[in-house]
Amino acid sequence: MSEVLLSVKDLRAGYGAAPVLFDIGFEVTRGEIVALVGSNGAGKTTLLRAISRLIDAHGAINFAGHDLMALTPEQVFALGLVQVPEGRQLFPRMSVEENLLMGGSRRPQADLAGSFERVYQIFPILGERRKQWAGDLSGGEQQMCALARALMADPKLLVVDEMSLGLAPVIVDQLLTVLADIRKSGVTVLLVEQDVFAAFSVADRGYVLETGRIVHQGRVADLERDPALQKAYLGVA
């Protein structure tokens, strides 16, 4: 039986008196790519902030055998749950190499050379521009840098928030191929996206979030055949 790496049950969260998430439940199994999709305002980023313990929440979150509810964001990160945030959030007046070092800051110094070699193999353009300011990279290159920075942390679960945002389709396709290769290397991936086509093209299973609730879930092949989902998200009348 496949090992459940991340389990979320009965999760409720919000901001002050304004609830956003209502009894959320989903799982990510080790070795798969799971897509969490939904429109802007559905609650996706709030859900990720709750999982990483950046906001208060109620319910149960278990990651790699650890109860996350009592942990700090730093402790969650140290367990190997690493996010690539929406908007990249690079340090624009630091070099590519310095941004990557931030991702590996908690790793033993002896491991960093191998990590640099790995990410530069995945993203050769970053190796070529390692001394360049991150803020001077193109949008696609900045997304590559954000992914590479997360990989420097040696994640067990790579959580990618709105990877396709603002990028040309050809760049999105390249990055989706990279995510598939990252999964093959042993890293589990949770891909959080508004772009349902992009997310489903690479995922094994999917969850659909609407107004703070999971309203559809299943294998991607089954979700793509669901008439309600086709009409709402895939443009099929």
Residues 62 and 118 in one domain: no
pTM of the prediction? Answer: 0.93
Going by pLDDT thresholds of 50, 70 and 90, the confidence category of residue 233 is low
Residues 73 and 92 in one domain: no
Residues 71 and 113 in one domain: no
Residue 173 lies in a domain: no
Q: What is the Cα–Cα distance from 45 to 39, expressed in whole angstroms?
A: 11
DSSP state at residue 135: G
Residues 132 and 228 in one domain: no
| Structural domain total, the chain | 2
- The boundaries of the domain holding residue 107 are 88-154
Residues 132 and 118 in one domain: yes
Q: What is the Cα–Cα distance from 190 to 167, expressed in whole angstroms?
A: 19
CATH number at residue 161: 3.40.50.300
Residue 199 confidence (pLDDT): 95
Residues 64 and 162 in one domain: yes
Residues 112 and 203 in one domain: no
Residues 67 and 162 in one domain: yes
Residue 177 lies in a domain: no
Residues 26 and 75 in one domain: yes
Q: What is the Cα–Cα distance from 112 to 131, expressed in whole angstroms?
A: 17
Is residue 237 scored above 60 in pLDDT?
no
Residue 175 lies in a domain: no
Is residue 142 scored above 70 in pLDDT?
yes
Is residue 141 scored above 80 in pLDDT?
yes
Residues 57 and 163 in one domain: yes
Residue 107 confidence (pLDDT): 81
pLDDT tens-digit profile of 74-117? Answer: 999 999 999 998 888 999 999 999 999 999 888 877 888 889 99
Residue 174 lies in a domain: no
- Burial of 109 per CB tally in 10 Å (0-12, 13-18, 19+): exposed
CB atoms under 10 Å from CB of 228, counted, come to: 10
Residues 215 and 118 in one domain: no
Residue in 166, 167, 168, 192 with CA at minimum distance from that of residue 179: 192
Residue 96 lies in a domain: yes
Percent of the chain with pLDDT over 90: 83
Residues 58 and 163 in one domain: yes
Distance spanning both ends of the chain, measured CA to CA: 38
pLDDT tens-digit profile of 33-73? Answer: 999 999 888 999 999 999 999 999 999 999 999 999 999 99
